[in-house]
């Protein structure tokens, strides 16, 4: 180590290390190998806490995906489908994953929720890419195609920056047709609620420390031609938000909201009045902790956010209008753009063009290409602060 560096005061060294980018964790690893003092400083709880506070939202270390049925990505077909965008490598257990064909359904607070809808009963797996730990469970109801699910940390007072080992919950929502016969042929039909054939929506929570599902919450009536869009929900202020689309023409028809504090389902309005294709819209958990609604039409991106007014009524406010052609390299302006994801707690979205997948900061309008032009149906960023101390074998720290 150079003498000038070793002579720096401890406080100055810490300020320097705080500014190392969180999505380039190899710099912290190399620094920790320089000497025992640096190792103790960088691995200490004080520095890790300051580092997370300094950088705010966890960085994106990679992403998970599922593909359109007619696409053939050049990525190695591994279970699960995880692609690093940094030098972080997910810890994938080499034990038997069985014959299941997992798709990524959700990712939050350092954990990934995988599901195999082709297996009956439907199999769910919660997996921690940082440690390799995973846990399997069956869905609470028999369901074919209309369902949604989420995984989230429930540790009291947690800032959700590195909460891999704490308690978690899986929220599962299913849409059930009230006429329950011939549920195999009807893609959005499952068995009705016992004793009540009028509730088309069930919701249950799997608690990691109870090993069972709760009773379903009160049902919410929806039109029979509505289904849950197969994208991850958005978590804002203790509520989960799912996009609802028409099963007939793929129009976005509403936003389904589940309030975890009240255990209630409800519908909220959209800022657009006319018909909108579901793939042209993403919901976002904005940096100011509001619900965002981004829509792309042609080359124009519109962004709204939803806030509670002084009268106790929530309403949408248009935040910005962006001409994508002014900020992204686009070879064919007639090629349809798609919004495929966002990073919760930030103003960052992911968009596909004819040249690939781009990450766009809607505040600074800075962008970065993250992948070539694969036809991903679902794109889920994996966000976490890297901590090499957590990289253990699954048998060392089972969830």
Distance spanning both ends of the chain, measured CA to CA: 40
**C-alpha–C-alpha distance, residues 130 and 364, integer Å:** 30
- 60 and 33 assigned to the same domain: no
**C-alpha–C-alpha distance, residues 324 and 330, integer Å:** 9
- 44 and 144 assigned to the same domain: no
Q: Kindly state whether residue 399 falls inside one of the protein's structural domains.
A: no
Q: Kindly state whether residue 247 falls inside one of the protein's structural domains.
A: yes
Report, as an integer, the average pLDDT of 7-33: 75
The last residue of one of the domains, among 24, 39, 55, is 55
Q: Kindly state whether residue 353 falls inside one of the protein's structural domains.
A: yes
Q: Is the pLDDT of residue 180 over 60?
A: no
More confident residue, 107 or 68: 107
- 138 and 38 assigned to the same domain: no
The last residue of one of the domains, among 55, 79, 101, is 55
Residues 59, 22 contacting (CB under 8 angstroms): yes
Average pLDDT, the chain: 77
Residues 378, 231 contacting (CB under 8 angstroms): yes
- 8 and 137 assigned to the same domain: no
Q: Kindly state whether residue 395 falls inside one of the protein's structural domains.
A: no
- 1 and 143 assigned to the same domain: no
pLDDT value, residue 205: 63
Q: Is the pLDDT of residue 314 over 70?
A: yes
What Rg, from alpha-carbon coordinates, does the chain have?
A: 22
- 39 and 74 assigned to the same domain: no
CATH code of the domain containing 84: 2.120.10.80
Q: Which 8-state DSSP code applies to residue 391?
A: -
Percent of the chain at pLDDT exceeding 70: 74
- 10 and 36 assigned to the same domain: yes
pLDDT value, residue 192: 25
pLDDT value, residue 36: 80
Least confident of 54-68, 172-186, 357-371: 172-186
Strand 60-67 relative to strand 82-84, pairing: antiparallel
- 49 and 162 assigned to the same domain: no
Q: How many domains does the chain have?
A: 2
pLDDT in tens, 207-263: 554 457 777 777 777 777 788 888 999 999 889 999 988 888 889 988 999 888 888
- 334 and 379 assigned to the same domain: yes
Q: Kindly state whether residue 396 falls inside one of the protein's structural domains.
A: no
pLDDT value, residue 72: 45
pLDDT value, residue 199: 40
pLDDT value, residue 395: 39
- 45 and 64 assigned to the same domain: no
Segments forming the whole domain that contains residue 10: 1-55
Q: Kindly state whether residue 274 falls inside one of the protein's structural domains.
A: yes
The last residue of one of the domains, among 36, 55, 74, is 55
Per DSSP, the three-state class of 202 is: strand
- 288 and 342 assigned to the same domain: yes
Tell which residue, 233, 311, 232, 308, has the closest CA to residue 265.
233
- 157 and 228 assigned to the same domain: yes
More confident residue, 155 or 229: 229
Report, as an integer, the average pLDDT of 270-276: 86
């Amino acid at each position: 180590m150079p003498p000038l560096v070793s002579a720096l005061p401890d406080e100055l060294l810490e300020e320097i290390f705080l500014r190392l980018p969180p999505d380039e964790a190899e710099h912290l690893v190399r620094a920790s190998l320089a000497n025992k003092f640096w190792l103790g400083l960088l691995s200490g709880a004080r520095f890790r806490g300051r580092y997370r506070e300094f950088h705010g939202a966890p960085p994106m270390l990679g992403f998970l995906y599922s593909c359109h049925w007619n696409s053939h990505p050049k990525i190695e077909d591994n279970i699960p489908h995880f692609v690093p965008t940094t030098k972080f490598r997910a810890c994938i257990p080499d034990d038997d994953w069985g014959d299941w064909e997992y798709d990524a359904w959700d990712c939050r607070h350092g954990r990934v929720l995988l599901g195999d809808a082709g297996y009956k009963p439907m199999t769910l797996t919660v997996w921690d890419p940082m440690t390799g730990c995973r846990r399997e469970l069956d869905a609470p109801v028999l369901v074919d195609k209309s369902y949604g699910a989420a995984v989230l940390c429930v540790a009291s007072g947690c800032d959700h920056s590195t909460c891999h080992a704490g308690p978690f919950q899986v929220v599962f929502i299913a849409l059930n047709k009230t006429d329950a016969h011939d549920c195999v042929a009807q893609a959005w039909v499952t068995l009705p609620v016992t004793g009540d054939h009028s509730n088309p929506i069930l919701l249950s929570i799997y608690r990691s420390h109870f090993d069972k599902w709760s009773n379903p919450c009160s049902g919410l009536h929806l039109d029979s031609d509505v289904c849950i869009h197969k994208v991850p929900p958005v978590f804002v202020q203790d509520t989960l938000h799912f996009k609802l689309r028409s099963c007939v023409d793929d129009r976005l028809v509403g936003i389904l909201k589940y309030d975890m504090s009240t255990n209630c389902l409800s519908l909220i309005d959209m800022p657009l009045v006319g018909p909108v294709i579901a793939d042209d819209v993403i919901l976002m958990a904005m940096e100011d902790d509001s619900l965002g609604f981004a829509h792309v039409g042609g080359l124009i991106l519109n962004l709204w956010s939803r806030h509670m007014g002084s009268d106790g009524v929530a309403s949408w406010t248009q935040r910005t209008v962006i001409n994508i052609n002014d900020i992204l390299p686009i070879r064919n302006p007639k090629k349809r753009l798609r919004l495929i994801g966002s990073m919760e707690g930030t103003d960052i979205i992911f968009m596909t063009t004819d040249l690939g997948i781009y990450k766009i900061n809607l505040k600074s309008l800075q962008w970065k290409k993250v992948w070539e032009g694969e036809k991903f149906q679902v794109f889920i960023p994996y966000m976490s602060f890297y901590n090499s101390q957590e990289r253990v074998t699954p048998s060392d720290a089972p969830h």
